[in-house]
Structure 1
Amino acid sequence: MKILVYGINYAPELTGIGKYSGEMCSWLAANGHEVRVVTAPPYYPDWSVSAPFSPYSYKTEWIDGVKVMRCPLYVPKKPSTIKRILHLCSFAMSSGIRLFSQLSWRPDVLICVVPTQFCSPIALLYSSLSRCKSVIHIQDYELDAMFGLGMAGGSNSSDSRVKRAAFAVERWLLSKFHRVSSISNSMLNKANEKGIATEQLMFFPNWSETSRFLAVSGTDTLKAHLNIPPHHQVALYSGNIGEKQGLESVIEVAERMQSDSVTFLIVGQGAGKERLVLLAEQKRLQNVIFSPLLPYEQLPTLLSIADCHLVIQKKGAADAVLPSKLTNILAIGGQSVITAECETELGMLCQQYPDIAVRVDPENVEALYQGIGICLEKPRFNAIAQNYATQFIDKESVMKKLVLSLNTVLSR
């Protein structure tokens, strides 16, 4: 099968969508498929393009047998709503040139990864001209996240004509793809609510390489490297530090737990990190440690040092986004505290599999404080979490099902 993947994030990004797109394409290439990718230089979650990549030029490279074509884009140092829109538009414009250079290659399937929705009109035009099947894979509902977090306006933004028009355009674009896939049942339900027919939907969850998390060593060495007192329990947040996480609540809880033998370890980068570090400094907290992202091969060890994993999001964010960090937490058999409302995907997961995690209401410092306390009293290993990961989100199983789904699309 010849597969062309079109999306703004790709390897070697270590977190989020870029990680999954990179692993997907590498697996497909290793299993005999021809794969090409049109993407941007890696910039996430630092919001900075580092050498040897450049935000100003086109570049082609090969990664794990995949031809990767990088396109220039604008990357704001401090993203705001307007700057994010300019950022997404810049990639849509520059990438269209490289995408249409692949018309003569004639792929069987084009997979357009959201974000960014800005690329979907270009993807649909390419699919029509090349006569290939089109799949739009939704990792994040951009509009839902934007309006849910109030990033697009004031308190009346939910009733604005701009919002209604934006969702109408989104619904029309989604309906034109041969398949609409997403990473959770609630996100597929949301697509259905947007007017996408059930037979047009395709389940394609994020995964974990569960075998990597079965036997982990080096935890004491890593704790010493991060200056964590050996007798302390660890409450770990690892991932993007952005607007939708609302990690200020973690700092508030850390302040209340200064006398406890608990270290709050916050690992990652993002637009909100500077503000979070400043808040911890203002409170003179000695039990909060910040660390940049560690190399991917150290991830199992990092997750293994945690007595409590923090999956933190603001209200409204959990409806639109299923945190990718949770897959590896489940695979390691970690105990976790999840901030989510009952009706969200995360909330329903906790209801369906009791004790898989401790669920608390988002943006509630008291509830988070209580939840972390409960989590730290539990055994470090959570068999329910690891069994779920092995059964439902193992990478090999998920990828084989994707190939079967794509072959079904091609046969129609």
Structure 2
Amino acid sequence: MKPNSKILFLALAYPKIPKSSNLYTDLMEEFRNQGHEVFVVAPALNNHEVGLIEEEGIQVIRVKTLPLLNVNPIRKGIANVLLPFQYKKAIKKYFQSTTLDLIIMPTPPVSLVSVAHWLKQRYQSNLYLILRDIFPQNAVDLGLMKKGGCLYNFFRKKEKMLYEIADEIGCMSQGNINYVLQHNPKIKIKKLHLLPNWQKEIPQFSGDRMGLRTKYHFNDNFVIIFGGNIGLPQKLENILAVAELFQPHDKVLFFIVGQGTEKAKIERLIHEKRLQNVIIKDAVPREDYQNIISVADCGLISLHEDFTIPNIPSKSMSYFNAKIPIIAAIDMNTDYGKHIQEEVKAGFWAPSNQPHFIKEKIDLLRSNPQLCKEMGENGYQYFIHHVTPAHSYDIINKRVE
């Protein structure tokens, strides 16, 4: 890609830097740092900031939309159907340029395919697809959509179109690549390649570790932390079943940080089950969260057991960064378990609907501090050498040259 290229990123969630961040803000900052002119189209964070706004050297077109996150499936579906019309209108108004070198679009959502196609034709640009959500099949897996129904067929048609018009498709794992090829035999194989999840490195916590542990009531417990979305895909009911297996004298504490559609339900279950070894907190800024992770003992991944698509959770990056081992309670169809346990050697996995097996893995870690340290270091070395935004930028840049 030539220097000073003009990049337009179609985002579903783009927090305001530096107040907050996610993997896409990290990537766009890397494109900016490499000298490119970066534009982002994203939902407005409030009604007072709509239009073209410069945010940390990045031109962000904030669009007024219906709520897209943490809402029920019907409202979310309506919002996603309206999204391409709202984005196209905003781009026409605020993107005053005669050239555009590269369009980058992640999934979700597939509904923006019409916007991407329109931009691609208008500017004769390349389209790079970051495949992070295989929809609508994931909705079918979670019981939110009927396979073969009108809604499924509508979104499946858009998914196929997206694969067709994309020039390059970056997938999270080899399992992702195999799945896409198996279910989309007409796709050009050469488009598909590995683009693992990424995150910029956050400096290691150097403050009072014991003070921070005391602040969050970690004390002398073996603390297993979960951070991120609390929704149907995570099915944290499975983790509560594991927590029930531990007695108070076991000194094992599950610490959950986040928001999501299932949070109220999980809080109610914690109360009903009278679980004294589970603490649930609201989301915190990523750097604060990273400090909390750094004084925990283990990072937790939880995926619904009914998934048929290979999911690779991005929250692993925070655990790698903090040098803590990972316990992955996951479905049997993802290749994440093999990746984390055999390739990176940064943790253990067990089927998410088998609490006794998950408990065995936790017991193995908490009885072996040296193993925890080694796995944490393995994860960190993998992180800094393979999955920073600079690595992701290099992959994308080489594919679109």
2:106 is the counterpart of 1:113: yes
Equivalent residue number for residue 180 of structure 2: 191
Contact 1:103 1:130 in 2 (8 A): no
The residue type equivalent to 1:113 in the other structure is: P
Distance 1:309 1:343, change over 3 A: same
Alignment length (residue pairs) = 389
Task: Give the 5 Å matches for 1:305-344.
Answer: 305-317=295-307, 319-344=309-334
Q: CA deviation at 1:320?
A: 4.3
Query: What TM-score results when the alignment is normalised by the length of structure 1?
Result: 0.86
2:43 is the counterpart of 1:9: no
The runs of at least 4 aligned residues of structure 1 exceeding 6 Å deviation read 13-16
What SS does the corresponding residue of 1:358 show, helix, strand or coil? strand
Q: CA deviation at 1:214?
A: 4.7
Cα distance between partner residues in 2 of 1:250 and 1:28: 38
2:134 is the counterpart of 1:141: yes
Cα distance between partner residues in 2 of 1:290 and 1:310: 14
2:366 is the counterpart of 1:363: no
Task: Give the 5 Å matches for 1:37-52.
Answer: 37-42=40-45
Equivalent residue number for residue 21 of structure 1: 24
What SS does the corresponding residue of 1:359 show, helix, strand or coil? strand
Q: CA deviation at 1:158?
A: 3.7
What SS does the corresponding residue of 1:37 show, helix, strand or coil? strand
Equivalent residue number for residue 386 of structure 1: 380
- Structure 2 alignment gaps of length 5 or more: none
Equivalent residue number for residue 264 of structure 1: 254
Distance 1:147 1:342, change over 3 A: closer
Q: CA deviation at 1:149?
A: 1.3
Equivalent residue number for residue 45 of structure 1: none
Cα distance between partner residues in 1 of 2:289 and 2:395: 26
Q: CA deviation at 1:217?
A: 3.3
Equivalent residue number for residue 47 of structure 1: none
What SS does the corresponding residue of 1:227 show, helix, strand or coil? coil
Equivalent residue number for residue 240 of structure 2: 251
What SS does the corresponding residue of 1:104 show, helix, strand or coil? coil
Equivalent residue number for residue 50 of structure 1: none
What SS does the corresponding residue of 2:244 show, helix, strand or coil? helix
Equivalent residue number for residue 98 of structure 1: 90
Contact 2:230 2:260 in 1 (8 A): yes
What SS does the corresponding residue of 1:386 show, helix, strand or coil? helix
**Among candidates 104, 124, 132, match of residue 131 of structure 1:** 124
Q: CA deviation at 1:245?
A: 0.5
Equivalent residue number for residue 377 of structure 1: 367
Q: CA deviation at 1:15?
A: 12
Query: What TM-score results when the alignment is normalised by the length of structure 2?
Result: 0.88
Cα distance between partner residues in 2 of 1:129 and 1:215: 48
Equivalent residue number for residue 224 of structure 2: 235
2:191 is the counterpart of 1:200: yes
Cα distance between partner residues in 1 of 2:18 and 2:141: 26
Contact 2:175 2:335 in 1 (8 A): yes
What SS does the corresponding residue of 1:352 show, helix, strand or coil? helix
What SS does the corresponding residue of 1:142 show, helix, strand or coil? coil
